[in-house]
Amino acid sequence: MTNIAAVVLAAGKGTRMKSEKAKVLHEALGRPIAYFPIRAALTLDCSPVVVVVGHQAADVEEGLSAQFAGAPLKFALQAEQLGTGHAVLQAQEALRGFSGDVLILAADVPLIRPDTLQKLVEAKQDADVALLACKAKDPKGYGRLVRSASGDVSRIVEEKDATPAEKAIDEINASIYLVGAKFLFSALKGVGRSNAQGEYYLTDIVAKGRSVAVLAEETEVSGVNDRAQLASSGQQLRQRKNGQLMKDGVTLIDPSVTYVDEGIEVGPDSVLEPLVSLKGKTRIGRGVRVGQGCVIVDSEIADGAEILPYSHLQDAKVGSRAIVGPFARLRPGAQLGEQAHVGNFVELKKTVLGKGSKANHLTYLGDAVIGEGCNIGAGTITCNYDGANKHQTTIEDGAFVGSDTQLIAPVTVGKGAYVGTGCTVREDVPAGSLAVSAGKQRNIEGWVEKKAPRKKSK
Ligand code: UD1
Ligand code: CA
């Protein structure tokens, strides 16, 4: 049990995003940006983590709760945004009885690392406040650290309240703090709003006790305030994620154009070609090759499978050493057995394709259960929908379905049966038999010479 709680500030409006959606719910690496600092706090075993919400409070609470089922997350409402000090005060009720240290961070700093937060824990010792600061190339707009002659942090002055001499300070407040709970709430009670912005500044607590600063990298503490910063934070998070994948033994042909969402696992010796997107709850096994331009959402790909270029998979399961694509579409409920093959322009929905079965060309298989070792010819279509209801097609082990076949569901093709080319299968085909539905072929001799329409000669 650690004795750290966290307060994450997420009540602000995020005006510069120019969005209907709350800023902290905008996504990077497939997660709301607030996910990342909250995750960092949870990695440090902070409990509880109190998220202060205000603008679009209900949406933010719902969006973040969905990310952290089972985590010690609490929400506190700041109905009116009267400043960062006021925001932290709203968490007091949720922290009633807590007497350890409180980690305070903004919800819009997705790049903050647990290791850096840990440095605050080490630096604080018996100080009242440990805060993250950094040397900024362009400090304009930030709060500046005012140090005493001895080098201690004596206070923080906001840009709008700073004298020209203070504006020249390049050490800025990153707005990430570790503060003793008792000191925090008693100091906040004494913070007023007689400043340039008429706000309750959290930064005013710094002057009310002994404060120490830890220097961090500027990029790590930079916030997301607009779409450009959202994109650059996303890019850096992606670099981290891709770097980790490579460390774990995954080959990325070009990591700058490989998009793997946060939380996705890829097994060693897998290869991700350029422009691959792996999203949601996708899991990729060992030795899997994912070809250029594939989009894989919420799917499981077993060891040794190969997903050839430009395939789209969603809520699908692909067995080991199966081959999918190029240009295949696996829709929700598609399930491929070991070594099954699904080729170009083949669509599967709610369909099980058994071990070693093949559907290699131009085919739609929906609501079907296909056994092992079956061959589904080019242009096969399961007619699963009668305009009102969906019906199932069953194809048993070893069956052979000839090209250009329509299977009108509900229908069953028995074990080892054959369906002739161009067949419209309306009735069950018993095991071991051949189904044909087309009439006998007739050839009309000499027809071309006598009857064929002729082009006008010029
Ligand atoms: C704050 C710091 C400043 C620091 C800068 C770093 C203060 C007074 N100043 O300034 O020293 O350099 O961050 O980015 O704290 N928020 C609320 N409720 C409020 C106000 C803010 O929840 O009433 C949240 C915002 O949503 C945001 C965070 O607090 O996540 C910081 O607020 P912001 O207005 O961006 O603070 P700054 O003025 O930039
Ligand atoms: Ca800010």
- What pLDDT score does 451 carry? 87
- Please state, as a whole number, how many other Cβ atoms lie within 10 Å of the Cβ of residue 197: 12
* Mean pLDDT of the 189-217 span: 97
Longest Cα–Cα distance of the chain, Å, equals 110
User: Nearest bound ligand to CA 177?
Assistant: 1
**Which residues lie below 8 Å from residue 379, measured CB to CB, with a gap of 6+?**
361, 362, 363, 403, 404, 405
**83 Cβ closer than 6 Å to some ligand 1 atom:** yes
- What pLDDT score does 458 carry? 61
8 A C-beta contact, residue 143 and residue 131: no
8 A C-beta contact, residue 402 and residue 385: no
Nearest ligand 1 atom to the CA of 172 is 12
Distance 374 CA to ligand 2 centre (A): 61
Cis ω before 332 (30° cut-off from 0): no
User: In terms of DSSP H, where are the helices of 149-226?
Assistant: 164-167, 181-189, 218-221
8 A C-beta contact, residue 205 and residue 179: yes
Length of the chain: 458
How many helices (H) and strands (E) the chain has is answered by: 9, 37
Per the domain annotation, does 367 fall within a domain?
Answer: no
Per the domain annotation, does 64 fall within a domain?
Answer: yes
- What pLDDT score does 339 carry? 98
**109 Cβ closer than 6 Å to some ligand 1 atom:** no
- Please state, as a whole number, how many other Cβ atoms lie within 10 Å of the Cβ of residue 6: 29
* Mean pLDDT of the 156-162 span: 97
Distance 127 CA to ligand 1 centre (A): 23
Nearest to 9 by CA among 83, 99, 118: 83
| Percent of the chain's residues with pLDDT above 90 | 96
Q: Quote the DSSP letter at residue 218.
A: H
- What pLDDT score does 78 carry? 98
- What pLDDT score does 454 carry? 80
Give residue-wise pLDDT tens across range 24-79.
999 999 999 999 999 999 999 999 999 999 999 999 999 999 999 999 999 999 99
> Residue 75 and residue 103: Cα distance in Å, rounded?
15
Counted domains in the chain: 1
> Residue 40 and residue 60: Cα distance in Å, rounded?
18
Tell me which residues are annotated as active site.
Answer: 361
Q: Which pair of tokens denotes residue 420?
A: 């002739």
Is residue 1 pLDDT above 60, yes or no? no
- Please state, as a whole number, how many other Cβ atoms lie within 10 Å of the Cβ of residue 191: 22
Q: Which residue has the tokens 């422009």?
A: 275
Per the domain annotation, does 120 fall within a domain?
Answer: yes
Per the domain annotation, does 17 fall within a domain?
Answer: yes
Sequence-ordered strand ranges (E) for 216-279: 251-252, 259-260, 265-266, 271-272, 277-279
Four-residue CA torsion sign, 273, 274, 276, 277:
positive
**134 Cβ closer than 6 Å to some ligand 1 atom:** no
Burial of 400 (0-12, 13-18, 19+ CB in 10 A): middle
Give residue-wise pLDDT tens across range 268-292.
999 999 999 999 999 999 999 999 9
User: Nearest bound ligand to CA 108?
Assistant: 1
Do β-strands 73-77 and 129-135 pair in parallel, antiparallel, or remain unpaired?
A: unpaired
> Residue 215 and residue 171: Cα distance in Å, rounded?
9
Per the domain annotation, does 225 fall within a domain?
Answer: no
Q: Which pair of tokens denotes residue 308?
A: 């050839």
Provide the residue range defining the domain that includes 117. 4-215
Per the domain annotation, does 52 fall within a domain?
Answer: yes
Is residue 457 pLDDT above 70, yes or no? no
- Please state, as a whole number, how many other Cβ atoms lie within 10 Å of the Cβ of residue 12: 20
Check which CATH number belongs to the domain holding 196 and give it.
Answer: 3.90.550.10
**424 Cβ closer than 6 Å to some ligand 1 atom:** no
Is residue 391 pLDDT above 70, yes or no? yes
> Residue 347 and residue 71: Cα distance in Å, rounded?
39
Q: What is the pTM of this model?
A: 0.94
Q: Which residue has the tokens 């061959």?
A: 375
User: Nearest bound ligand to CA 143?
Assistant: 1
Per the domain annotation, does 362 fall within a domain?
Answer: no
**pLDDT band with cut points at 50, 70 and 90 for residue 151:** confident
Query: CA distances (Å), 303 to each of 158, 267, 269, 317, in order?
Result: 55, 8, 10, 12
Per the domain annotation, does 108 fall within a domain?
Answer: yes
**435 Cβ closer than 6 Å to some ligand 1 atom:** no
* Mean pLDDT of the 107-129 span: 97
Which of 64, 160, 172, 175 maximizes ligand 1 atoms within 8 Å of its Cβ, making it the mutation to test the pocket? 175
